[in-house]
Amino acid sequence: MNLRPILLASLAGAFSLAHAQLAHNYDLLDVNWTISFDERQDTIAGDVTNTIRPNDGAIQVAFHEGKLTIQSITVNDSSAHWTVNGEQLVVDLPAPARKDQSLKVRISYTGHPEAGVYFVDQRRAFPAKTSMVYTQGEAEDTRYWLPTYDEPDDKATVEGHIVVPHGYFALSNGKLLDVEHRGNLDVFHWKLEQPVSTYLISFVAGPYERGSEHWEALPVDYYVPTGLSTWGEAAFGGSAEKVKLYSEVTGVRYPYAKFAQTAVGDFPFGGMENVTAVTQTIRALYPPKEAPLADAADLVLHELAHQWFGDLVTCRDWSHIWLNEGFATFMPHFWHRKHDGEDFYQNMRMETLQGGWFGMEGHRRPMVETHWNVPMDIFDGNAYPGGAARMFVLMGMVGEDTFWKGVNTYLREFAYKPATTEDFFNVMSRVSGKDLDAFRKQWFYQTGLPHLTVIKSGTTLTVSQRENRPGVPQTMFDLDLDVWALNGGRWHFMKLPLHDMQATLDLGDNANGQVLVDPMLKYLTKIDYQPALSSNDVYAMWTHTSNPAVRAQLVNIAGGLPDVGALTWRLFPAEENPFWRENMSGALSPDHPAELIALTKDPNPKIARNAADILGRGSSTPEIVQRLLEIWHSGDRDRMRNVALNSLLQLTKDSALAEEAWKTDSYDDRFRSTALRFFAQNDKDRARQLALEAVGEQHTEYLRENAIGILGELKDKPGEKLVFGTLVRFLSDPGHGTKRIAVGAVQQYGDPAAVPYLEKLTDYSMYQIREPAKRAIAELSKAKK
Ligand SMILES: [Zn+2]
């Protein structure tokens, strides 16, 4: 763990002077930038004017920049002296700053960036046939293409000019003011009137086609590479409705001049909430016929939610990242509640609560975590579902109306400003009239979650929140638990306040029935029952409730039962609710092949897909193979065909079929990856041969990345270094996805001879490559000893 550079400032004396950082001593007011690029060289040339208001008496100011070549700097048009100190660009002011004086610091620069801006060649942009150039700032990568203040706590208005070849479109933040034609170049001029954190500044450029909608007067657009407009509409169409819903739910109207989305290749994330100009992975696009098996709604809903949570109000520093990511995970539930109903909503909420639990299991830390190595280390299961799950707990405590009133107040009071966890809770306490201090401390400042053990013995129910796992410290939560018992065909409702490590309840007659603790999913907990609930218990409770939250809780419990498949077969045939029917279809066991074959023709494509998938986990019969072959040969969705293919390969181990799949195109090139995975499990020689071919540039990035990953699991033949040589070569590949996956594959391959090649990446700007490279070196060096 390292302290952050900004914190090091006060300790500078203890460290080498070269790394002493200048404190942030100004208010950033405006960032006015111009950029041009050369796609053959992967280079940029830029010019940015940062308008700042320095603290009274400041003699130097510092911006962030990473590995750029600074050509010149002026302060209010007079040339200025500067020095580069690590990732700080320190500019000497011509005279000590006077109170309230604003200065224009203009920086001209060139660069060949490894991060921040990405050049994607058309061969790497599949399914696009055109190239693209785009930026990605979060967390702290804006500095690799734009020298400015690059931490989230200081917001500025933004004006961008992107110089592109004629025929390109360039999307950026805010409103398009004009497009200037300069010979065979066009300059796109965008302006954002509202202040934002600089990690949200972005552009995307390339041959793009536009699709457009409106919500009232607000343009809601999407831009996809030329030729993919129907795919763009499938993925991003209907976004205007979502803008409307979030405006209504939050009570804060969408605050900017437009909402737009683009799709780009070789993107390191699913999507990025760049303000008014969301960048999405090109893998979100799909041909319309693939719906509903392919669906981008949740990606759109997440990035759109960030326009309020993250962009309008921003975490003051990354330790409060849940304010961005927790809310962006929380908001989509309310779209689904309206459009897919209460059952969908409650089941999604249960999954988010589960995600929050596993987030803590995977990375035990307080929600407000001030120690990390790189900011992205805490963009984890705590920040995303963990943050969302805690908002459900809070909403249950203060009531829904009050909760939304509080959110509305928070958004209004901190609009265009940074905020902290304390800011949020101060607003919530004020609006709800409740003292939320203990809640805030327990759920946000201590590590761990309530892990409940429920023991039923005689008529006594004992609930304890003790941690009995070695190395896991005790944590205490105040929980007002509901306890429901199904007794004699009727539900009985009881309360069990748990304000200590343990509490008991006398069940009386209800001890004869089934007992559920926290039936309505009020809390983010894990509950272990002793004795364990059986499938008969779950069956009885399911058939006596249609309450969506209780059903979601029962689905959660059923998921942990060894005989969940058999239980599901008892419930599924009689289930009439279409949501639960679809949900259950994924948990059926493979031992009813005739019924499953029939379900592969279900009018709900998701049920049909689940059935085809489950058939592959059982034993083979001629009827199953015949039906799956029918789907593989004539199914109309590639996604369905791929599931059938995978099941067939599992059942038949038929190499000839895998060879056929290897020759078959699909919209996302999935069949080849499935074939390759089959060979990796069943015929390593053939897998090696195909994977070595699949990494070639004539193949799609989807396949190439999968093939590199699979090569890491394979070994070279004795005396050969083909696999090793290929993996090492990809450590310097121009593709970022391929390079990133090669780092992991080299580590898995396990030959310490790769260390010198990995060492070239330990200073790489893109942390998704640099940090895994360091870990791989550590692992391989261990193997050597
Ligand atoms: Zn997000």
What separation in Å is there between the alpha carbon of 224 and the centre of ligand 1?
21
- Helix (H) or strand (E) holding 27, with range, is strand 26-38
Contacts of 327 (CB under 8 A, 6+ apart): 305, 308, 309, 310, 387, 388, 391
CA distance 367 to 325: 12
What separation in Å is there between the alpha carbon of 329 and the centre of ligand 1?
7
Q: Supply 333's token pair.
A: 């539930």
Strand-pair partners of 84: 89
pTM (predicted TM-score): 0.96
Specify the residue for token string 């055109």.
130
What separation in Å is there between the alpha carbon of 151 and the centre of ligand 1?
17
> Once rounded to an integer, what is the mean pLDDT over residues 667-680?
97
pLDDT at 1: 20
pLDDT at 469: 80
What separation in Å is there between the alpha carbon of 222 and the centre of ligand 1?
19
What separation in Å is there between the alpha carbon of 457 and the centre of ligand 1?
45
pLDDT at 693 over 50: yes
What separation in Å is there between the alpha carbon of 37 and the centre of ligand 1?
28
pLDDT at 9: 33
What separation in Å is there between the alpha carbon of 375 and the centre of ligand 1?
14
CA distance 37 to 546: 59
> Once rounded to an integer, what is the mean pLDDT over residues 685-694?
98
Ion ligand 1 neighbours, Cβ < 5 Å: 325, 328
pLDDT at 471: 82
pLDDT at 14: 35
Residue type, 630: E
DSSP 8-state symbol, 130: S
pLDDT at 19: 57
Q: Supply 87's token pair.
A: 């990732």
What separation in Å is there between the alpha carbon of 178 and the centre of ligand 1?
30
Taking alpha carbons only, the member of 527, 558, 522, 562 closest to residue 540 is 558
Asked, as a colleague might, if the bond just before 127 is cis with ω within 30 of 0, I would say yes
What separation in Å is there between the alpha carbon of 341 and the centre of ligand 1?
24
pLDDT at 7 over 60: no
What separation in Å is there between the alpha carbon of 482 and the centre of ligand 1?
33
CA distance 239 to 596: 36
Strand-pair partners of 272: 279
pLDDT at 466 over 90: no
CA distance 726 to 697: 13
Query: pLDDT digits over 583-619, tens only?
Result: 999 999 999 999 999 999 999 999 999 999 999 999 9
Per-residue confidence band for 475, with pLDDT thresholds at 50, 70 and 90: confident
What separation in Å is there between the alpha carbon of 385 and the centre of ligand 1?
11
Q: Supply 684's token pair.
A: 């390593």
What separation in Å is there between the alpha carbon of 673 and the centre of ligand 1?
28
What separation in Å is there between the alpha carbon of 619 and the centre of ligand 1?
42
Describe the strand order of the beta sheet including 514-517 as a list of residue ranges: 490-498, 479-487, 514-517
Q: 265-289 burial, b for 16+ CB within 10 Å, e for fewer?
A: bbbbeebbbbbbbbbbbbbbbbbee
What separation in Å is there between the alpha carbon of 308 and the centre of ligand 1?
12
Neighbours of 470 (CB within 10 A): 5
What separation in Å is there between the alpha carbon of 275 and the centre of ligand 1?
12
Percent of the chain past pLDDT 70, that is, above it, reads 97
pLDDT at 10 over 60: no
Contacts of 476 (CB under 8 A, 6+ apart): 442, 465, 500, 501
What separation in Å is there between the alpha carbon of 359 and the centre of ligand 1?
15
Query: pLDDT digits over 63-97, tens only?
Result: 999 999 999 999 999 999 999 999 999 999 999 99
CA distance 662 to 699: 12
Neighbours of 512 (CB within 10 A): 13
What separation in Å is there between the alpha carbon of 254 and the centre of ligand 1?
17
What separation in Å is there between the alpha carbon of 272 and the centre of ligand 1?
7
Query: pLDDT digits over 326-385, tens only?
Result: 999 999 999 999 999 999 999 999 999 999 999 999 999 999 999 999 999 999 999 999
- Helix (H) or strand (E) holding 359, with range, is helix 332-362
Cβ–Cβ under 8 Å, residues 302 and 332: yes
CA distance 497 to 330: 27
Mean pLDDT, the chain, integer: 95
Taking alpha carbons only, the member of 273, 262, 190 closest to residue 226 is 262
What separation in Å is there between the alpha carbon of 4 and the centre of ligand 1?
22
pLDDT at 783: 76
What separation in Å is there between the alpha carbon of 311 and the centre of ligand 1?
11
Q: Supply 307's token pair.
A: 């326009």
What separation in Å is there between the alpha carbon of 390 and the centre of ligand 1?
16
C-alpha torsion sign, points 59, 196, 371, 409 = positive
pLDDT at 18 over 50: no
What separation in Å is there between the alpha carbon of 765 and the centre of ligand 1?
22
Residue type, 490: R
pLDDT at 101 over 90: yes
What separation in Å is there between the alpha carbon of 379 and the centre of ligand 1?
9
CA distance 430 to 436: 9
Query: pLDDT digits over 403-433, tens only?
Result: 999 999 999 999 999 999 999 999 999 999 9
In a 13 Å sphere around the CA of 522, the CA atoms on its Cβ side amount to 15
What separation in Å is there between the alpha carbon of 382 and the centre of ligand 1?
13
What separation in Å is there between the alpha carbon of 325 and the centre of ligand 1?
5
pLDDT at 535 over 50: yes
Describe the strand order of the beta sheet including 451-457 as a list of residue ranges: 502-506, 460-464, 451-457, 526-530
Taking alpha carbons only, the member of 287, 311, 392 closest to residue 349 is 392
CA distance 381 to 445: 16
> Once rounded to an integer, what is the mean pLDDT over residues 305-328?
98
What separation in Å is there between the alpha carbon of 333 and the centre of ligand 1?
14
- Could you write out the DSSP letters of every residue in 639-663? HHHHHHHHHHHHHH--HHHHHHHHT
pLDDT at 735: 94
CA distance 690 to 244: 49
Taking alpha carbons only, the member of 660, 741, 669 closest to residue 702 is 669
What separation in Å is there between the alpha carbon of 94 and the centre of ligand 1?
41
